[in-house]
Amino acid sequence: MPNSQQANEMANAIRSLAMDAVEKANSGHPGLPMGVADIATVLFTKVMKFDPADPWWADRDRFILSAGHGSMLLYASLYLLGYEDMTIDQIKQFRQLGSKTAGHPEYHFAAGIETTTGPLGQGIANSVGFAVAEAKLAAEFGSDLVDHHTWVIAGDGCLMEGVSQEAISLAGHLKLNKLVVIWDNNNITIDGRVSNADSTDQIARFKACGWNTIEVDGLDQAAVEKALLEAKRSTDKPTLIAAKTIIGYGAPKKADSHSVHGSPLGAEELKGAKEKLGIDYPAFEIPAHILNAWRAAGTRSANARGDWEGRLAAAKPELRAEFERRMKGALPKNWNEAIETYKSKLIADKPKVATRKSSQMALEVINKILPETIGGSADLTGSNLTNTPETLPFTAEDRTGRYMRYGIREHEMAAAMNGIALHKGLIPYGGTFLVFTDYARPAIRLSAIMEQKVIYVMTHDSIGLGEDGPTHQPVEHLSTLRAIPGLLVFRPADAVETLECWQLAIEAEKPSILALSRQNLPALRTEIVEGNPSSKGAYVIAGGKDADAVIFATGSEVAIAVSSLDLLSQQGISGKVVSVPSMELFFAQSQEYRDSVIGKPKAKVAIEAGIEMSWLKLLGDRGRFVGMHSFGASAPAEKLYEHFGITANAIVEAVMAQL
């Protein structure tokens, strides 16, 4: 069925702005916006629930452009719908320094961009977290306050990425029926035809994972609308809409080819495309009647938002107050008091436990205070100890649960937690072994780029895990994670530091990693001190103020460092130990504070059961490192520490070498 003239004009407005912006920037991907414009037109003007006048309305539908290279599809739509952040000047500054219209959508840049996408597959992986958050909050606060859908446009590349399989299998298992993925099925990637590299039957794949599937002509707006509305009616499964499109639709020579995927059309092809599509207006100028139709569509949900605000106002005061607190991300008033009370108990009890156990003990307190935490593990609950009595499983049958069984899907766990955090109302944390941050790293990096409160509980943090051997012993991981800007990496030394690091992770407006030991560690913080020393990133935990030698240490190695002080004293050398639970926080302190901690020692030593790289800034040219210089080995932990020379005697030797 051919589209009406108005339908074509509205879709062509997206195509025109996309072609013009890419041409002006001499950079970008015009093919996807040209091919998907009809789908976007129907989705945004007839189906989705949102209001540009209140772009962060809590019960809006979420839209995720997983195929983030086609960013002009989103930018053009936001401008046409009347989002204040997205002006025509921003469209003209596509891909330019300081503009809101970056090459790929970036969460912080403009209202209407729900998540940072670009690395293919991340958007569809995020979307599972968005859908989980909606289902969890709806079960908790009721459908009067929480009742919305998550819509995704994904391309062939998104579905090829391995994380997409982790995402769709988890979504199908959990029966996230308010998740709809629209597949831009154009059969083209940068290298050419999809058939060059892939022959997957995507329909069969999604069905096998428990999804509804609908096939539609993505250029037929009436058919697209019917498919979208059918997907909204799903009550038991997520839905894939396989929309057959033509990349670069309208381009006379480049349509349906990889040459329109990642480069401008060029003046001649641009002119030909506009003539073929019937676009007879100047670049960046949308005729008033078309723009007015788009702007009217942008107001379509204003009444729905007003009705929702009425329901919120009429809700029981306690429910309304809790909902508003949660969506704002504010912590309850008794937060600090509860943490300090538990810290006093730890100092009195002096438990000798692994920091993974200390973490679980802290969580038993935290999860009672914060109903918004939603935990989980990538099939390592018994090792990560991320569960507590409050965190019953979130399942397809019971949405009230607070514990995600992510299965052996480390990458999807991290990406889903990004989606949960972006949705707002919940604080996600999830666990695996520290060595498997390699499997989750792309999503961890995006947590940092987007500054989201996502907490990664990474246990088995060193050679201290013992017999599992070098494949499971993280050696380079602490340094590589510390290299990610905006990521807080915590490695606590005992139960008190673990609690303090959890407190900081909950309070931070950025992601955190807690690197936790498998082996038991002695209590080192045995006296009450004011405040949270870990909040400074590093502090003197043992020894005198003006020492000949300063020993920096983290985690399980802090106890080794403390034990070296007596050996140094026997040599007539004064020493002090600086616990460094977070390098990032320490380097954020004033120079005056850092100097007060380090002092003016004659020797500097750092000890950590990892590689040296991240310590060089503290050690300088003369300092010595005691740690790993190779991969680990399979043996009991105490044998490994001796074998690799991570000992108190090694610290003494490193000090003596400098003196």
> Please, what's the largest Cα pairwise distance for the chain?
91
- Contacting residues for 392 by C-beta, under 8 A, at least 6 apart: 398, 400, 401, 402, 403
403 beta partners: 375, 393
Distance CA 382, CA 508 (A): 27
389-428 in b/e form (b: 16+ CB < 10 A) is ebbeebeeeebebbbbbbbebbbbbbbbbbbbbbbbbbbb
Specify the DSSP class assigned to residue 127.
Answer: H
Minimal CA–CA distance to 555: which of 487, 634, 462?
Answer: 462
375 beta partners: 403
- Residue 27: CB atoms within 10 Å: 15
Beta carbons of 150 and 61 less than 8 angstroms apart: yes
Distance CA 470, CA 58 (A): 46
Distance CA 112, CA 105 (A): 10
> 651 — phi, psi (to 5°)?
-65, -45
Computed over its alpha carbons, how large is the radius of gyration of the chain?
A: 27
Alpha-helix residue ranges (DSSP H) falling in 424-556:
437-450, 477-482, 495-507
181 beta partners: 152, 240
What spatial distance separates the first Cα and last Cα of the chain, rounded to whole Å? 86
Residue type, 54: D
410 is catalytic: yes
Tokens at 343, concatenated:
């810290």
Distance CA 605, CA 624 (A): 5
Beta carbons of 332 and 369 less than 8 angstroms apart: yes
- Contacting residues for 445 by C-beta, under 8 A, at least 6 apart: 484
Beta carbons of 218 and 3 less than 8 angstroms apart: no
Catalytic residue among 410, 497, 500, 557: 410
- Contacting residues for 44 by C-beta, under 8 A, at least 6 apart: 63, 77, 81, 297
Q: Catalytic site residues?
A: 410
